[in-house]
Amino acid sequence: MSDKRPTYEELERRLAIVSDAATSLLRAQDTNSMVRELFDQVSSHLSVQAYFNFSVNGTGERLRLESLSGISEEESRLIAQWSLDQGPCGTAARMHHMVHVPDVQASADPALDTLRRYGIRAYCCYPLMAGDRLLGVLSFGSRVVDRFDDDDLDLMRTMSSYVSIAREKLRLEKELRERADQLAEADRRARTSSWQYWLTSCAIPWPPSPTPCTCSRRAA
């Protein structure tokens, strides 16, 4: 734990980061591009060179890698999917709690083998939550420090909370669009059915009768 107090300039800088991140997340239309943009904004202000953005699958039993930065696509195949009993991210997802792993390179823990291969020295995972529901995990890795200080952990926690809010916002907006489409389709079908009924009920025989047709068109 660091005893160093942030200066006024550092606090002002962090507030600006948080404000910019919130603005970006509110206007985001895609989860993966949203997280990439967020990482680009904060990585130069934090000691992080990699991030890994996971979503939980439909059964809630596995994490699926959605986006990342800091490693190659070939290397990312090693972490394409994680079960909730695997590694720091699985623990964060299972326990619904942040996991900070310092001194990765000095550790002999087999669960950290992949991180050591990536050159990660400090690693932190944050569960992405909507209430009690797990959405995924967002993790950050550093190749230049062996542990994150409290200020960096707090800032990453704030960023992860924003990502959770933005993800849930996008999910709800998608549900609303789908519901609106369903209602529009149901209305279209009802109007079509009403029109077809009127056509068949008002058929005029041939030769036409001298008596005018008395049927009336139903309102569409």
pLDDT, greater one: 75 or 23: 75
**How confident is the model at residue 114, as a pLDDT?**
94
Residue 85 has pLDDT above 90, yes or no: no
Where is average pLDDT lowest: 185-189, 201-205, 214-218?
214-218
Interval 156-172: pLDDT, tens: 898 898 888 888 887 88
Where is average pLDDT lowest: 107-111, 113-117, 210-214?
210-214
Q: Which candidate, 114, 117, 104, places its Cα nearest to that of 147?
A: 104
Residue 23 has pLDDT above 80, yes or no: no
Interval 48-69: pLDDT, tens: 999 999 999 988 889 999 999 9
Most confident of 28-37, 84-93, 208-217: 84-93
CB of 54 within 8 A of CB of 137? yes
CB of 143 within 8 A of CB of 121? yes
Mean pLDDT of 97-120: 96
Q: Coil, helix or strand for 125?
A: strand
CB of 109 within 8 A of CB of 141? no
Peptide bond just before 208 cis, omega within 30 deg: no
**How confident is the model at residue 198, as a pLDDT?**
61
Q: Where are the beta strands (DSSP E) in 13-150?
A: 50-56, 62-69, 81-83, 99-101, 122-130, 133-142
Residue 107 pLDDT grade (very low, low, confident, very high; cuts 50, 70, 90):
very high
Residue 25 has pLDDT above 70, yes or no: no
For the chain, the residue count is 220
pTM: 0.73
Token representation of residue 58:
């439909």
Where is average pLDDT lowest: 23-27, 105-109, 177-181?
23-27
Residue-averaged pLDDT of the chain: 82
pLDDT, greater one: 191 or 180: 180
Domain annotation for the chain: domains and CATH numbers: 9-172 (3.30.450.40)
Residue 213 has pLDDT above 70, yes or no: no
Q: Coil, helix or strand for 148?
A: coil
Degrees, nearest 5: CA angle 130-24-44: 105
| Alpha carbon distance 169, 41 (integer Å) | 21
